[in-house]
A and B are shown apart, each in its own frame.
Chain A
């Protein structure tokens, strides 16, 4: 019997998700033994034509990481969807929009303006901007177009499973591959990770006082961080209470607060709203001025509470923030 075929593709991403595959270390040998990689642009020389040549559903599974913002990414997502039986959104960007999703806080025009005109390192006296088509002497050239906004994978194609994380913990990847091989997959649409918040397995939970514990917010560089004490209790913005566990508290072990990359648990629709609500409740102030002062300690609320999930958030879905404003 031939081995199941698998693909691994990247869209708007940093490459960290590929790294997480390499992080499997010697375990990767077992994976390669069990699975045939038929598309893996970072690691192997396959072309788009090779995928197009496949039968629909020929790949057993395809992992796509990165968010979707360009016409090319959309086309590839649609193509890979067609060719795969199981499509897995791999990593925070693919799952909820991730870091690239923060671009939705600005309009496409603002981004172009900054990148091609206003940024201090830009030298572009003619004001040249990338064009979708260009007539070169060698013939017409075509570039992918940039969409109005960043989307998560499931906002473009149907997704079967999600593996969260920035990058995803290798344990989750391993568990997913094992489940795939054994055919023992959870219900479609599941996030393949534990469904309780990080506090559940945080080694510091016992040092978290059960009282309104925050008087001011601090950033990691501002204090000498205690290695054993709950980070929230030290005034650091730890998103652990509102973030899915499964990461083996890697950041906490590194003495850094959780930044929320695993996304919310299944019962929470909007991770940012959940943590804002919880933190608001934990603020130990009654006086509005004191509260304002404490909140000044959060210089970038959107980037803090919605770092990995703007495109997928209820907030963004409802008000659309700025994306596409004034653009056709």
Chain B
């Protein structure tokens, strides 16, 4: 016989289960007392306490009671709904009860874990149980909504994280939009010379993946583009992408470079610092970031190009281009796409070493950052791979300073994780290229990954001198004749307990990793959270490390926190897998917490219409009332709170349910 338990007209027959959670709850809350108290509440038919309500026997107990006592409402007082709401909803559903006739009272996170006095904890638990009982009595039978999911995925950022995510998804047969703000994909990895600890040539392992992206039939690659706007929700995001005018027709340009040769900015002093070479060389207004840039397409910098700035130029580039690819009339183009999931792979920015003035970066010519030296040692870099200083000399002594901007309360308290290895790599490469004597100033040496400690050992054996201590200052103030013309690194050598002055020709600062400058703006645009240090926040550090608090948006790479390349790639794969799991399923279940307008009650005052962030409310001009489009409503409740007529109501959060809950808390304290 199928029992009819779903009608809301039925008198509530409520079962209450007070969970001990081992000792997590029971050691603080008098669970027997709460159980007896619950039994006295109106509508409660069964009230029990149980060691672990979420265990199989616990769930079976509830199901048995539903059958034997004909229960039509269930309250479990245990932990956070984040953890077990789904469990108990399933328990109810399996016993033939609508899962929305289940209510959870959180007496662990909200009570036992955060309350000192057991008496106070018990009182609070009583109040929360009473609130849940009063609320569940007003619960309505609802059903999960199934919403179709679009199969396309947007990957934001074309560094190694975005590249790997995009390729993984595309290889699984999904259409991917890869959006990169720079004129080329590749990110920071493209700027690196070698990758630690194996010393692979960075470009050699990266560029094949870049061209895979470009040639993949499933990937739409948009460089020099940015995400302007994101709306919608998991499975159905609407994204506006701004394709910035590059003043070169991408489909025509083959990257031959004739326009660069022709560009009138011939004198170096009118040229601008080349971003790819971190300012160590100059470029013209028309340029390609580096020879293997993908797409192999020029871009014209509108802030430098005479024609674009002043409308006055000989336009030699136009004449030089045989394919007529130069187009000064281009404007930004906004493209709207629909995607089911989004992978954020927006990367990091290196710590700006100028913020530590005592290290002299920007003041002394021969103080470099690790990224600059990557370009110096690179064969296609500004010096063709020769480590020569800005005055043209080759350094004989070099100092590498760790923890620049990291593990430093004045700037970033966190460890940037990759800089010890990057510093070791620099020590190794510079020594290899120049034969210089290298001093490495470290605070703690952190080399915990596969092959990293071995690499450290190798650098040790190469004769690099390691000095343990946080560098106080880099100065050009010589105190002895040997220090004349040198940079002096002042440091306390903590292993021998003396203050030292180490004169060197070149200083390399191992700068840390920081969140991108516009992370806060991105956070708002994508509606995701940031951790305290400003990196995007994962949903759970252990159990949902690539998910965000916004369903359908996943994190890959250093935008979530400092990481080295192996870790970035692993995480990018994980993010792709999570996105795939979402879009491949074809649909998502979403809570039926949508809003609706009570027709007779609506005065048509239009208060709600502009408030809906999802444009789900329109005005029925004929009836002169507001109407909520159920498929577009995301259940945020904004209209419900704003409606001055009480006409906007929300499933799962009706005024009645909320008042009952509030009164439940207040009535029994």
Q: Which residues of A contact B (CB under 8 A)?
A: 195-200, 205, 208-212, 240-242, 245, 264-269, 274-275, 277-278, 280-282
Contacts and interface: CB of A to CB of B under 8 A. Distances in A.
Given A210-B619, A281-B638, A200 B604 contact: yes
Contacts of B644: 197, 241-242, 268, 274-275, 277-278
Given A205-B624, A210-B609, A267-B647, A281 B602 contact: no
B642 A196 contact: no
Given A265-B601, A281-B642, A210 B624 contact: no
Contacts of B605: 197, 199-200, 205, 208, 240-241, 278
B654 to A, nearest CB: 10
B600 interface: yes
Interface string B566-608: 0000000000000000000000000000000010111111111
B604 A281 contact: no
Listed from nearest, the 3 A-B pairs whose CB atoms lie closest are: A267-B646, A242-B644, A197-B603
B643 interface: yes
Contacts of B608: 281
A276 to B, nearest CB: 9
B611 A281 contact: yes
B49 to A, nearest CB: 33
Main secondary structure of the interface of B (DSSP, over half): loop
A207 to B, nearest CB: 11
Contact of B624 (A200, A209, A266, A280): A200
Contacts of B603: 196-200, 241, 245
A187 to B, nearest CB: 16
A240 B645 CA distance: 10
Contacts, number: 83
A322 B607 CA distance: 33
Contacts of B604: 199-200, 205
Interface residues of B, number: 25
Given A200-B624, A267-B645, A282 B607 contact: yes
Contacts of A278: 605, 607, 642-644
A199 B641 CA distance: 18
Which of the listed residues B598, B610, B638, B645 has the most CB atoms from chain A within 10 Å of its own CB?
A: B645
Contacts of A199: 603-606
A229 to B, nearest CB: 14
21 contacts: A195-B601, A196-B603, A197-B603, A199-B603, A199-B606, A200-B624, A205-B624, A208-B606, A210-B619, A241-B605, A242-B645, A245-B603, A264-B646, A267-B601, A268-B645, A269-B659, A274-B646, A278-B605, A280-B642, A281-B642, A282-B607
A264 B607 CA distance: 16
Q: Which of B600, B624, B643, B647 has the most CB of A within 10 A?
A: B643
Interface string B275-304: 000000000000000000000000000000
A195 B602 CA distance: 9
A280 B638 CA distance: 11
A269 B655 CA distance: 10
A198 B655 CA distance: 22
Nearest to B649: A267
B570 to A, nearest CB: 40
A195 B600 contact: yes
Nearest to A201: B603
Nearest to B606: A210
Contacts of A268: 644-646
Given A196-B600, A196-B601, A210-B619, A265 B606 contact: no
A265 B638 contact: no
Given A200-B602, A241-B645, A266-B646, 7 more contacts: A197-B603, A199-B603, A200-B624, A208-B605, A210-B610, A245-B603, A281-B608
Contacts of A198: 603
Nearest to A208: B606
A282 to B, nearest CB: 6
